[in-house]
Structures are given as structure tokens and as C-alpha cells.
Structure 1
Amino acid sequence: MKPSVEIGGDEVINPKSSSWRNKTRLLLAASCALWFFSVGVGLSIVWEYENTPGTAANPYVQLPSDSQIKPVPGRATLVMLVHPHCPCTRASVGELALLMAQAQGRVTAYVLFLKPRGFADDWEKTDLWWSAAGIPGVQVLKDADGIDAARFHAATSGQNMLYDAEGRLLFSGGITGARGHSGDNAGRSAIVALLTEGEAAQTETEVFGCPLFSKNSECRMGELNHAIHSH
């Protein structure tokens, strides 16, 4: 072991010890930099995911007469298409509840829950189903094999279409500002304006949700997580 060096009666730290501390500081600084970089990348991925819209519908300008939707005479009709295992759509259902309260009985809403062939009975009756069913003025329906979703040319969970009392399309789009985010948004504002004032600044908005039909969709991941946590 090298002796400590004394200069003017003061003991100088062993050079090896000083070198070790310098290396430790460098390692700590590098670790912190790597951590901040990883967090930044993670936040960037989350931000991109939340703000990337799904495929918007291209619905007919008239309410399809062969769908299971039966409009109430003299009242507007709102249709929402939902994948029952899409975690993003919880926000859409929450926004629907606010919308219906603001509409004050001017519209009847139908929420169609996808039920693919071959899945278990009541597969579609998740918490989303019961949340939507509890909203005044809303009827929930099973969309067997996605037949009605196809009729409305819908591809993304959370897609909405608003039709007037004569069945004419007034609005098409989503009612959240990002995936899974509640709060004021252009879609809800547009629908409420159309129902209460007869016009709106926008008649189309982006739709944020899981793909309705893709086997590799985020909804499959959501379904898997639900199954894991329920056991």
C-alpha cells in the first residue's frame, strides 16, 4: 500500500483512492444520464401512442335501414361502436355520459358492442357494457360478428355517428382528445352544438381507440391483461 503524502503538514489523499472516487462519480453520472434517456424514450413512446388516431369511419350519409338501430321518431340518433375489451374506450364511455347530460333528451344513443363469432357467452359484457348501460338515454346492443360495424364502415373502437331525425348524417368521429383521455374535446363539443344549436364548427374528428377487428390489436393485449388480473 502506498503511503499518504504529506505537504506542509497536511495529509494528501492516496492517489488510488482519489482515482477510485473519480471513476465512481463518472459511473454515477453515466447511470443518471442513461436513466434520463430511458425515461425520455419511454415518455415519447407513450405520447406517440396516446396521440396516434385510429382509422376513421367513412359512413353512409343516411342511417343504414338494415341495421339493428331503430330511431325514435322526431329525435336524433347517436351510434357508438365499441370493442368491449378496449381500455381506451373507457374514456369514450365517460364522455358519452357527459354528452347525454348536456343534450337534455334531444338524442337517443346506441352503443354497439362487438361480439366476434366463437367467443364465450357474455364476452362482450365487460365493465364498459355496464357503464354504458347505466347512462340515461343509452341503449346497449350486441353487434354479432361486427355486422353493424361493417354497415357503418367503422374500424376503430369509440367511433361515433350522429344522425338527425330524418336519418341524415351530421357528424362522424371520436369524442376524446387522445387515447384514454377524458376532458373537453372537439368531438363532444361538436355533437352537443349540433343537438342544441343546429350547427357546429366541426363535423368530423379523429378517433382514438383500439382497432375493432385486428387480431393483433391493443384490445387483445387489454383482454389478456384483464384475464391475468381476474385470476
Structure 2
Amino acid sequence: MNSRPILLMTFVALFAMSAIGFVQLTDYSSRPGKSGQAPRRVTDVELCDTSLAGTFPSADVPTLLVFYHPKCPCTAATVRVLERLQPRFRPSLRITAVAYCPGDQDDAWIETRTTTALSKLTTSQVVVDHGGRLCKRFGVYVSGQVLLYDGEGRLSFSGGITPYRGHEGDSPSSLDLLKRINEPHDDLGSWPVFGCSMLSDSERQW
């Protein structure tokens, strides 16, 4: 019996399966998450929430909010981008990392390498967001969402700073963030976010 047709069919089948897997992986890594509408000014947010106390310290000091899911592996790329960019940030920038935490968990749930790395950024603090309350308030759906408010409390940047899901390195969005931190702009830079969903199904009922 001639085995060549069988071998050829096997090869074609394996090639087709590999191609399908590659396409699916590429689509997953390049598909942005859902985006919401962040408050355009800090004054639009109820800053009486004690978890935000000290987040917006004073006038003329820009504030960078980094929303993240501590268990999302994609967010590690966002952290590494921030680590590389930070030496080029203006010294007065204030960074607040907002860590999502399920409502039925205590603060220990957020203790991951991502949280440790974010806490080591200069002038940074970590705020625990129990039940995703702050995510909802700021219109955040996806881990890795970054919001920059300028010294006058205006939203200057909203989006992700990685080129794809889990990929790091300079990208148009990260360079735009750097530019807006060091040179205030009147317009809003808006970019897609690549990361894991932030909230559970029940918490996502906005």
C-alpha cells in the first residue's frame, strides 16, 4: 500500500491546525479590551472616598492612575514599560496603582509580583479597590488601563501603553504618555487597552 497519500494528508492536516492556532493566538493578542468613559476632570469624581485620599496631592502635580488586576499576566508588560519610562518622567509625577480586589477577599489577595513591582516605582502608592468600585467610577474594564490627569485635574491620557496583549517595548501609546507627562496638552490622547477583564460577571453590572 502506498503510504504517500496518507503522509501528505497528515502533513496538510497538521499544517492547517497550526495555521488556525497561530491565527487565533494572533487575534487574541491583538484584540483590545472594552473601553469605558473616564471622568474628564478630577472634580467630576467624588474624592471624598477615603481610598483616594492623597491621590491628587496639589495643583500643578500630574497624577498617573494605573488600574490593574493583580492576577493578570498581561499586566506585567505594562509594569515593565512603566519601569523603563519612569527615568524620563518629570520628577513631580504622582503614581497611584489601583489594584482590583474581589469584594469577598482581604487585602492579602492583591499581593503578587505585579503589586510589588508597582509599589517600587518612585512616588507610587497602591490603593486596594474592593469590589471594583473605583474601576466603575473611572470607567475601567480592562487591566492595564492608564489614566493621566494633569496638574489642573484634566484628563490628558486614557488607554493602554503596550502594543499588544502581554507585549512590552516602546509603542505609539507609551511614547504619547511620556510626552503628555512632560509637556501638558489640551487635547485627550486615547488608546486601546490590551489585558484581562477587570471585574467579575456580577460586578460588571454597571
TM-score clears 0.5:
yes
Q: For residue 167 of structure 1, what is the aligned residue in structure 2?
A: 153
1:123-152 deviation digits (Å, cap 9, x = unpaired): 111111111112222211211111111111
Contact 1:88 1:180 in 2 (8 A): yes
Unaligned runs of 5+ in 2: none
Aligned structure 1 segments of 4 or more residues deviating by more than 6 angstroms: none
Amino acid at match of 1:169: L
The separation in 1 between residues aligned to 2:5 and 2:32, in whole angstroms, is: 43
Q: TM-score, normalised by structure 1?
A: 0.79
The separation in 1 between residues aligned to 2:10 and 2:188, in whole angstroms, is: 48
CA 1:66–1:149 in 2, change beyond 3 Å: closer, same or farther?
farther
Backbone CA RMSD of aligned residues:
1.9
Unaligned runs of 5+ in 1: 1-19, 217-231
Q: For residue 95 of structure 1, what is the aligned residue in structure 2?
A: 81
1:97: Cα distance to partner? 1.5
The separation in 2 between residues aligned to 1:133 and 1:177, in whole angstroms, is: 23
**Secondary structure of the corresponding residue to residue 80 of structure 1:** strand
Work out the percentage of aligned pairs sharing the same amino acid.
29
Which of 17, 36, 43 is 1:57 aligned to?
36
Range moving further from structure 2, 67-76 or 39-48:
67-76
Q: For residue 71 of structure 1, what is the aligned residue in structure 2?
A: 56
Q: TM-score, normalised by structure 2?
A: 0.88
Contact 1:114 1:145 in 2 (8 A): yes
**Secondary structure of the corresponding residue to residue 140 of structure 2:** coil
1:53-106 deviation digits (Å, cap 9, x = unpaired): 001131111122235332132310000111111111111111122232221414
CA 1:129–1:207 in 2, change beyond 3 Å: closer, same or farther?
same
Q: For residue 190 of structure 1, what is the aligned residue in structure 2?
A: 176
Q: For residue 191 of structure 2, what is the aligned residue in structure 1?
A: 205
Q: For residue 134 of structure 2, what is the aligned residue in structure 1?
A: 148
1:31: Cα distance to partner? 1.1
Amino acid at match of 2:141: A
The number of residue pairs the alignment matches comes to: 195
Contact 1:190 1:201 in 2 (8 A): no
1:121: Cα distance to partner? 4.9
